[in-house]
Amino acid sequence: MPLKIGEKLKRLRLANNLTQEELANRTGLTKGYISQLERDYTSPSLSTLKEILDVLGEDLAEFFKQPPTEQVVYKRSERILTADSDDKLKVELLVQASQKQQMEPVLVTLAPGGKTWEDRSHQGQEFGFVIKGNIILEVGGKRHKLEAGDCFYFTADQRHRVENEGPFEAQILWVVTPPTF
């Protein structure tokens, strides 16, 4: 992707609440030249660019630094699967490196008789959507029966766990913030 110097200069100028004329006056350039730069009709010399960036409070190295590419799509083949020793609990991490994110989505699959570990109280919130099957959600000692299509949402400051007491597999889309899986 080609670097659009003019677009970046215009964003910086606007972020500093300057008009083209004010920027021109502070840099000793003309308003017409600033306008041409912002529309990418011309390119500044490095020394001219540095003068403009000094006025805008931006470092030359920072100006050219490209933001990291954000992954938007996560394919099924990229999932990380964990399972308990008797294969009654499977947790699929849906987003790689979600520990670096603000929330962590996982797909929890419970075979009949399967259950999650009892999670101690921790900071954050948890949301779950039952995709299929029936589950028992226990939060703070209270048991709640949920079936496909039901969801839950709670603050994680109480002990909590999920179990599948039904005869069929259960599956839950579970989102935790901050990440804990």
Question: pLDDT digits over 79-121, tens only?
Answer: 888 877 778 999 999 988 766 788 999 999 999 999 998 888 8
Say if residue 91 is in the same domain as residue 57: no
CA triple 153-156-160, angle to 5 deg = 85
User: The pTM is what?
Assistant: 0.64
Say if residue 87 is in the same domain as residue 118: yes
Residues spanned by the domain of 116? 76-177
Say if residue 101 is in the same domain as residue 172: yes
Say if residue 51 is in the same domain as residue 140: no
Please indicate, yes or no, if residue 113 is contained in any of the structural domains.
yes
* Whole-number pLDDT of residue 3: 67
- For the chain, residues with pLDDT lower than 70 are 1-3, 98-99
Say if residue 122 is in the same domain as residue 84: yes
Residues 6+ apart with CB under 8 A from 85: none
